[in-house]
Amino acid sequence: MAVELRLGVKSDMIEYRYSHQWLFRILAEEGARYVQLGSQLETYHLPDAYFHDLRKQADDAGVVIDSTFTTHRELGGFFRTEPGFEQVARKNYERYIEVGGILGATSVGSNPGAVLRDQMGTKQAGLKRYIKHMKELMHYAHEHGLKWLTVEPMSCLAEPPTLPEEIAALGQELTEYHNANSDSTVQVGYCTDIAHGYADRDGKIIFDQYDLFEACVPWMYEVHLKNTDSIFNSTFGFTAAEREKGIIDVPHFRQLLIDASDRLPVDRMAGYLEIGGPKLGRDYSDHQLEASLRESLQYLQTAFMQSSDPVPIPSRNAISEKSPVLISPSMMCVDPLNFESALRRVEALGVDMLHIDIMDGHFVPNAPMGLGILEALGPKTDLPIDVHLMVQDNDFFVELLEPMRVDQISVHVESCTHLDRTLARIREIGAKAGVAINPATPLSAIEYVLERIDYVLVMTVNPGYAGQKMTPASIRKIADCRKMLDDAGYGEVPIQVDGNVSFENIPAMVRAGGVNLVAGTSSIFHRDASWSENVVKMKQAIAAGLTASCQ
């Protein structure tokens, strides 16, 4: 079978320029699921908590930090003879392996290091030290849950391995060591750069990018995707302008990988876009990175992945099984500056519908979302759209919603002048009609519109703000509402619950009769875990409530 190709990005380009959240958002939007985390000075000194949080941020965005790889040749001390370099390299390499384990990465990689140009006679001794440490580190990586350590063949003799025979010798020795100790070591493979070749001191090409690529095949674990000039001097990305001046033929490299499938040590191969981007630290250049990154990724979607459209990417912890209780994320809780990116992340969680709160600043003292977002949302998602109107003039807003793709609309009994007429009108425009009822409002207020409603929204907080505590009588009210509906012959009418739908409250809400949970900052968007982890916890809480209901 042909090797399965994956597309990702090496994060070097954002160093000291943009946040990882910024990068993760762009990757999610462009359909590139995988991240190779580059290193920086602080990497070796930051606490574990930083990396736990970074893993959560990636998971929230629906991307996977599947690999880490050094950025600055900073683990190259095994080739140095001055006191301290070897010890520092070993200490930092061990920490980098620990970081990879915390991030849940499959591989940790590094440039081997460089022999000082004026001390080339020390190369063989340095290589011997490097191999000794790598064999020991293969055990250390195994202890921390990794699968691979990776090495990048470079483009000069001072940075081995470079020549095909050096690549083969190192690959064979470390692979033989793994085979002899397969129960306690990880494998070692090459992170092969498709823009690497070897030109001698006169600029004569001795081995081109295809020669070195072929030499790596038996040990190739992942690849770096970048462009270069005719002597492998400067490197850059794949914008239209960069493709004009570069020599790298990505479709050809893709075909080489496919053709070599039976000789590769893996059946899945990630290609990581590795670019420096525009000049670092300038107001006139930093802002150009996003456009350059997106254009290169869009090109690679076609040239490397052979995909005409980026595919929305699922979270690695997405929940697919269906439940009789629906999860409706409250979209007022996401970052409004990155709404579409958040939408894609929410869709990937396997939720049931999107809950959209529309407020007017009068019925409730808040107005976080407007009709403009709702209008733009309809064509962008296939999920049902559930609108909760918290407004003074319901009829005005219902008419504005008619041309939009809205699946259901709830209005408050407290603000409707003619509730029966408004509910009938909602059905006329093709949406399900729901009636929302505040904590202090008696259930008798909806007794004579039961014939008009498709669902009841029981508010368990006073409407208007996220993050409130549940009012004391809420669970009792849900149960009373369920009994009222059943006794009146409307057992098929579901109850939606909105307000402090927390992991702790969900079992009781479900046990009382809630079957559509509006999930906000106390559950799906809780800060203590990733969104996908929170969905798992919600499912567990729902299951606990359903089990209790059957007893």
Question: In the 8-state DSSP scheme, what is residue 76?
Answer: -
Q: Are 109 and 70 in contact (CB under 8 A)?
A: yes
Interatomic CA distance for residues 134 and 112, integer angstroms: 10
User: Which class for 176: exposed (0-12), middle (13-18), buried (19 or more C-beta within 10 A)?
Assistant: exposed
% the chain with pLDDT above 70 = 97
Q: What is the pLDDT, as a whole number, of residue 322? A: 62
Mean pLDDT (whole number) for 63-73: 95
Per-residue pLDDT band for 29 (boundaries 50, 70, 90) equals confident
Q: Are 280 and 16 in contact (CB under 8 A)?
A: yes
Handedness of CA 245, 248, 252, 254 (dihedral sign): negative
Q: Would the pLDDT of 187 be above 90?
A: yes
Q: Are 235 and 227 in contact (CB under 8 A)?
A: yes
Q: Where are the alpha helices (DSSP H) in 246-338?
A: 250-259, 289-303
Per-residue pLDDT band for 509 (boundaries 50, 70, 90) equals very high
pLDDT digits 0-9 by tens, 35-48: 999 999 999 999 99
pLDDT digits 0-9 by tens, 362-411: 999 888 888 999 999 999 999 999 999 999 999 999 999 999 999 999 99
Tokens of 215: 């030499």
Mean pLDDT (whole number) for 79-98: 97
- What are the residue numbers of the active site? 357, 498
Interatomic CA distance for residues 253 and 272, integer angstroms: 13
Per-residue pLDDT band for 338 (boundaries 50, 70, 90) equals confident
Interatomic CA distance for residues 3 and 315, integer angstroms: 22
pLDDT digits 0-9 by tens, 402-460: 999 999 999 999 999 999 999 999 999 999 999 999 999 999 999 999 999 999 999 99
Pairing of strands 4-10, 268-273: parallel
Q: Are 230 and 242 in contact (CB under 8 A)?
A: no
Helix (H, G, I), strand (E, B) or coil at 15: coil
Interatomic CA distance for residues 380 and 183, integer angstroms: 49
Q: Would the pLDDT of 208 be above 90?
A: yes
